[in-house]
């Protein structure tokens, strides 16, 4: 009788372990590898889920932390629809990305990706905040980007971020800058020339990345270098899609070309 009870207990334990699934025995590295496989197939949400599972196993795994930060930015960027509820969801995702990036930096402050994805998360989140918060965050974004470049001078995404940062700051004109400085405190300075320089550097490092060309084209529009802008937007359309975001980026490039066509017809 006692042997039979032991046998029943063994079967119950075995059944429970099977119901729990193999995931509980997986290592953080295995979850990260699985996430990377989903990421390579442009399945960003599934990739994020795997990185979060890795963090359940190993909460201070640096790679899982910065990839979780990246995942929240990517998933939020791909959200469609409008309205307060959508904006709220996106804001919360960018805030989570910021938290994971900061945790990554606390675990390993000497690698580029924690700092870069902190800049990316802040840069996205800040657009949904008030003017004062935007100015304060813009300083933090610049600090994070500079650190990412210092740690890896070949980080094309960091140069891309630096180029966009300069354009955004340069777009704040003299009168607005003076008034804003009185109300909110000093506003960082940027220039279109620096924006062009760093976006060209990003293109040089990774010429097949669609978003580098899109943002360089936008800087050329701001500089009224329309022929160069057209070249960059057309390059966006020529390049093959390499990420889940690229279809949308190509649509934006088409819109930019259409706007340039309208501008040309008005001037004629």
CB 132 within 8 A of CB 90: no
- Sequence-distant (6+) residues with CB within 8 A of 223 are 192, 196
pLDDT at position 112 over 50:
yes
Dihedral of CA 153/232/252/238: which sign?
Answer: negative
- Give domain status of residue 45, yes or no: yes
Q: State the CATH number of the domain containing residue 64.
A: 1.25.40.10
pLDDT attached to residue 173: 55
pLDDT at position 65 over 80:
yes
Number of independent structural domains in the chain: 1
- Give domain status of residue 31, yes or no: yes
Query: For the chain, what's the residue count?
Result: 268
Structural domain including 84 reads: 27-128
pLDDT attached to residue 228: 98
- Give domain status of residue 265, yes or no: no
pLDDT attached to residue 59: 98
pLDDT attached to residue 267: 66
Cα–Cα distance for residue pair 131/10, rounded to 1 Å? 63
- Once rounded to an integer, what is the mean pLDDT over residues 179-198? 73
Say what percent of the chain tops pLDDT 70. 83
- Give domain status of residue 87, yes or no: yes
- Once rounded to an integer, what is the mean pLDDT over residues 2-16? 47
Give phi and psi for 83, each to the nearest 5. Answer: 110, 165
pLDDT at position 189 over 90:
no
Nearest to 51 by CA among 25, 76, 75, 69: 69
> Whole-model pTM?
0.84
- Give domain status of residue 57, yes or no: yes
CB 75 within 8 A of CB 69: no
Question: Pick the residue with more confidence: 264 or 40?
Answer: 40
- Give domain status of residue 39, yes or no: yes
pLDDT attached to residue 94: 97
Q: Where do the H-state alpha helices sit in the chain? A: 2-20, 28-40, 44-57, 62-77, 84-107, 112-126, 131-151, 156-170, 174-184, 192-205, 210-222, 226-238, 246-267
Cα–Cα distance for residue pair 183/189, rounded to 1 Å? 16
Report the b/e string of 4-22 with b at 16+ CB within 10 A: eeeeeeeeeeeeeeeeeee
- Once rounded to an integer, what is the mean pLDDT over residues 118-134? 83
Q: Choose the weakest-confidence range: 60-69, 84-93, 227-236.
A: 84-93
- Give domain status of residue 8, yes or no: no
Q: Compute how many other C-beta atoms are within 10 angstroms of the C-beta atom of residue 35.
A: 26
- Give domain status of residue 112, yes or no: yes
| Band (237; pLDDT cuts 50, 70, 90) | very high
């Amino acid at each position: 009788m006692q042997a039979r009870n032991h046998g029943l207990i063994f079967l119950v334990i075995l059944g429970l372990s099977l119901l729990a699934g193999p995931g509980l025995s997986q290592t953080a590295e295995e979850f990260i590898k699985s996430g990377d496989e989903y990421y390579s197939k442009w399945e960003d949400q599934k990739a994020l889920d795997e990185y979060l599972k890795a963090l359940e196993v190993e909460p201070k795994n640096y790679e899982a932390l910065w990839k979780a930060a990246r995942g929240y930015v990517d998933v939020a960027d791909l959200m469609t629809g409008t309205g307060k509820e959508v904006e709220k969801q996106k804001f919360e995702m960018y805030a989570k990305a910021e938290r994971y990036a900061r945790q990554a930096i606390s675990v390993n402050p000497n690698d580029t990706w924690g700092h870069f994805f902190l800049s990316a998360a802040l840069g996205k989140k800040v657009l949904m905040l008030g003017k004062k918060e935007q100015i304060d965050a813009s300083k933090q974004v610049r600090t994070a980007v500079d650190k990412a470049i210092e740690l890896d001078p070949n980080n094309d995404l960091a140069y891309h971020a630096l180029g966009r940062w300069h354009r955004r700051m340069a777009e704040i004109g003299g009168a607005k800058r003076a008034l804003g400085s009185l109300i909110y405190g000093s506003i960082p300075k940027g220039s279109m020339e620096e924006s062009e320089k760093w976006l060209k550097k990003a293109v040089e490092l990774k010429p097949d990345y669609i978003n580098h060309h899109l943002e360089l084209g936008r800087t050329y529009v701001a500089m009224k270098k329309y022929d160069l802008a057209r070249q960059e937007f057309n390059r966006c359309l020529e390049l093959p899609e390499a990420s889940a975001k690229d279809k949308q980026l190509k649509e934006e490039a088409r819109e930019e070309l259409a706007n340039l066509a309208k501008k040309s017809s008005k001037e004629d």
